[in-house]
Amino acid sequence: GENVEQHPSTLSVQEGDSAVIKCTYSDSASNYFPWYKQELGKRPQLIIDIRSNVGEKKDQRIAVTLNKTAKHFSLHITETQPEDSAVYFCSGGSGNTPLVFGKGTRLSVIA
Amino acid sequence: IAGITQAPTSQILAAGRRMTLRCTQDMRHNAMYWYRQDLGLGLRLIHYSNTAGTTGKGEVPDGYSVSRANTDDFPLTLASAVPSQTSVYFCASSEVPNTEAFFGQGTRLTVV
């Protein structure tokens, strides 16, 4: 089955700097890669997703890149703000197989 | 308001007791999931259902069972709770597999 590895487990950045979180996956059949943000005490919520037919997707300060050959994908957050502080989860899946999540990255944005 | 709801929000349970966590969605989503969240281990899939009447095992199914009698409800049962099942449990749903998943607010379960 699919295995998703996520790095780093914790990340601290200064406000205004960029943050990058990286994930790898094992199943070459995986074609859907969503990212979820979980604020303290809240439920995970989708922030951006990408399908395997594109290499990059942007939404304001957030972008995701996908390298199918290397089987890795990354989340990029630019101009970080304190409200970006949260746990971020990458995930991957395909067909009728449920999403498999990485172990999460705790991002702290220091004002 | 459309969404997905879980009950209870928290529970302290004696070891050996039976417990059912409830999950209901009103978005007419076909797929539903149960995850447990433990510090440092992320979200691990317990059981899932791609459509009413079908279920499947996830990564950590032992000690848990589910049923999917209709589209809206997906209860998770712990037959005989053990302390290692202390966790935060999230139910989620998606229109079909591998589309955006919407999570419930979570159930914090403590087994003592």
Three-class secondary structure of residue B85 per DSSP: helix
A104–B42: do the CB atoms touch at under 8 Å?
yes
Structure tokens at A96: 């009728």
A42 vs B contacts (CB less than 8 Å)? 105
- Please identify which residue in the block is written with the tokens 């172990």: A103
pLDDT above 80 (res B2): no
Burial A67-86 (b: 16+ CB within 10 A, else e): eeeeebbbbbbeebeeebbb
Predicted pLDDT at B1: 58
3-class DSSP assignment, residue A55: coil
pLDDT of residue A54: 87
pLDDT in tens, A81-97: 999 999 999 999 998 88
**Which residue from A6, A98, A102 is facing B45, i.e. has the nearest CB?**
A98
Instruction: Give percent of chain A with pLDDT exceeding 70.
Output: 100
pLDDT digits (tens, 9 = 90+) for B19-40: 999 999 999 999 999 999 998 8
Q: What is the pLDDT of residues A47-65, one digit of tens each?
A: 999 998 889 999 999 999 9
